[in-house]
Structure 1
Amino acid sequence: MRWEVPVMNIKVFELRDDELKAFERVAASLPEGCEVSWSPACLTRETIDSLDGAEGIVIVNKSPLDAEMLELLHERGVRYIATRSIGYNHIDVASAKRLGIHVCNTTYPPYGVAEFAVMLMLMALRKYKPAMWRQQVNDYSLAGLQGRELRTLSVGVMGTGRIGRAVIEYLSGFGCKILAYDPYPNAEFAERHGVTYVDLDELYGASDLITVHVPLMDATRGIIGADAIAKMRDGVVLVNVSRGELMDTDALIEGVESEKIGALAMDVFAEEDGIYHVNRTHDILVNRNMAYLRQFPNVILTQHIAFYTDIDVDSMVEQGVRGVVDMAAGECATEL
């Protein structure tokens, strides 16, 4: 597929080895004269000279763009920025707009993340972590490993966007009762999948398991805090594959210690930048809450990999490069 767009120079930063195949495919489909190059490095003040005259750039979250950095990019002629991620908190979008820089994020099919969320539910309910630990020392006893069956539970889904709806579609096959909260309920979807929309307080009080699929914004930051947890059922299971900052970590620790929270499974963590997606084998990690939560037998922490499937990686690379091209052509569906 070839697009009718202005000829331009695009630079892709933070490109990983697993993204190269998709990058090469997309690069080959660009209009004649449209140049695209890549670098494994992050875009920082130290590497900004490597822009090589690019008008459009594609980054991920290890290249934070604050107001000052955006000013520097603007001075060097950058007019289009795409992030290969759904989240875009690492970009000062307001400052970009003020400078006349167009910004877009990317999307990908919701099913990989939705499958991962359901996997975490099952791992938490069947006490995967202590069972695996015991095998390492040849302890095959049963005591303490009795699980629960998902089909017998009430599951609360916070947020029924693309990923939340995909989770519900998968959960429908387990036979569990499904409650949902969203500021904009989808009545047709709810009827089709047997979902009951309720307010947050009712969802907290009536759910055995709660899975979080809301975007991170000022109104949702810390939405799962002490007050919310106090309204939940004793022994509630919490799952988060969205953003770590949606949960108050201190409140989570208190909930686990008091056994109000029966199990916790998170693919994301507050202040994970600089830790997740990096080999820190020989480093001292400065995130005490992460280290403390990880040691509980009923807490599962994975390293922000729910998105990491062949389909999703391919989609993010394509949409990242194509997002720059589409913004230049004035037809980008994900422009912020």
Structure 2
Amino acid sequence: MKIKVFELREDERAAYDRVVGELPAGCEVAWSADTLTSATLDMLDGAEGVVIVNKSPLDADMLRELHDRGVRYVATRSIGFNHIDIDAAKGLGIHVCNTTYPPYGVAEFAVMLMLMALRNYKPAMWRQQVNDYSLAGLRGRELRTLTVGVMGTGRIGRAVIDYLRGFGCKILAYDPFPSEELAARGDVAYVGLDELYAQSDLVTVHIPLMESTRGIIDREAIAKMRDGVVLVNVSRGELMDVDALVEGIESEKIGALAMDVFPEEDGIYHVSRTHDILANRNMAYLRQFPNVILTQHIAFYTDIDVDSMVEQGIRGVVAMTTGDCATEL
């Protein structure tokens, strides 16, 4: 079987070489740093399986082209899979899987953003650059005294909850499919979404992007939240209505905002755009507020997670051929 890995970064090469060296006989794997587009289809070179990331969107037309060239298996080296038209893939008989990786790196990053937002680290850091060591405006809040609402209690949400337990804060959780194990522990209270909004000093988002969740944090949701609420998002930018976020920051309804993701981030995050004009006005506008932290989609970027995504992406293709892939969609 021939497999082609697209979008392979230099930092993924060691994991790629290790995994390829461990594959069963008969697996031929090649790689490219390019994205998979209609312009790079000739790079497939007869591959039956492809491995991508989210910079290679696969809509119905692209999937049809892949099918016509003999591709039957697609793995994405990401948890999110909204860049792939799953229904179209199934209609064409193309198997698709995503990858999972240990949740702890993203969960740690989420907690880090909470602490940075609560302790006003961004303006403190700015001031140091001009030797301003004054205290005015930098007084923070202690996480242990707050109520934190966790939206989504999948693997990452549960890891966040485990870390938050150590701070001693009150934890509320929302999930349309509650975890019986988590609910039985007694230190987390599952509540409805409106109650989570109303009772939480800080809301952290850990839900997948689907049509039903797109823009879930909108004007109506923010209006239900406490004045001065802190919002944290390390999941997908499109879960939030950015115009509503801007209004919330300007009106001071939102006390602080920390996002590792952003709508229309493709083509900006993960590449150098130092000398370019960026056509994302909301990103540029939000970034200038002292109580807004925007990081460049790096919550996943740890040694363990990168290695895991490469391994599961390649092995996922092989596993799908035998019907033994635990993450097939």
Same fold (TM over 0.5): yes
**Equivalences for 1:151-230 in 2 at 5 Å?**
151-192=144-185, 194-230=187-223
Secondary structure class of the residue paired with 1:65 = coil
Secondary structure class of the residue paired with 2:30 = strand
Paired amino acid for 1:11: K
Query: How many angstroms apart in 2 are the aligned matches of 1:14 and 1:193?
Result: 44
Q: Which runs of 5+ in 1 are unaligned?
A: 1-7
Secondary structure class of the residue paired with 1:175 = coil
Q: Aligned-pair distance for 1:191?
A: 3.3
Of 288, 296, 300, the residue aligned with 1:295 is 288
Residue 140 of structure 2 aligns with which residue? 147
Sequence identity percentage: 81
Residue 3 of structure 1 aligns with which residue? none
Q: Aligned-pair distance for 1:187?
A: 3.3
**Equivalences for 1:235-274 in 2 at 5 Å?**
235-274=228-267
Of 76, 97, 108, the residue aligned with 1:104 is 97
User: In the alignment, does 2:76 pair up with 1:86?
Assistant: no
Larger mean CA deviation between 190-199 and 47-56 belongs to 190-199
Query: How many angstroms apart in 1 are the aligned matches of 2:311 and 2:145?
Result: 41
Query: How many angstroms apart in 1 are the aligned matches of 2:171 and 2:323?
Result: 41
Q: Aligned-pair distance for 1:190?
A: 2.8
Secondary structure class of the residue paired with 2:66 = helix
Retained in 2: the 8 A contact 1:253–1:293? yes
User: In the alignment, does 2:125 pair up with 1:126?
Assistant: no
Q: What count of residue pairs does the alignment treat as equivalent? A: 329
Q: Aligned-pair distance for 1:201?
A: 0.7
Paired amino acid for 2:63: L
Retained in 2: the 8 A contact 1:169–1:193? no
Q: Aligned-pair distance for 1:33?
A: 2.2
Query: How many angstroms apart in 1 are the aligned matches of 2:301 and 2:17?
Result: 19
Of 13, 18, 33, the residue aligned with 2:6 is 13
User: In the alignment, does 2:79 pair up with 1:51?
Assistant: no
Residue 75 of structure 1 aligns with which residue? 68
Query: How many angstroms apart in 1 are the aligned matches of 2:144 and 2:26?
Result: 56
Of 306, 314, 324, the residue aligned with 1:321 is 314
User: In the alignment, does 2:311 pair up with 1:307?
Assistant: no
User: In the alignment, does 2:278 pair up with 1:285?
Assistant: yes
**Equivalences for 1:22-41 in 2 at 5 Å?**
22-41=15-34
Q: Aligned-pair distance for 1:193?
A: 5.6
Query: How many angstroms apart in 2 are the aligned matches of 1:86 and 1:316?
Result: 9
Q: Deviations over 1:153-201 (max 9, x none)?
A: 0000011110000000000000000011111222331332600111011
Larger mean CA deviation between 43-52 and 184-193 belongs to 184-193
Superposition RMSD on alpha carbons, in Å?
Answer: 0.8
Secondary structure class of the residue paired with 1:46 = helix
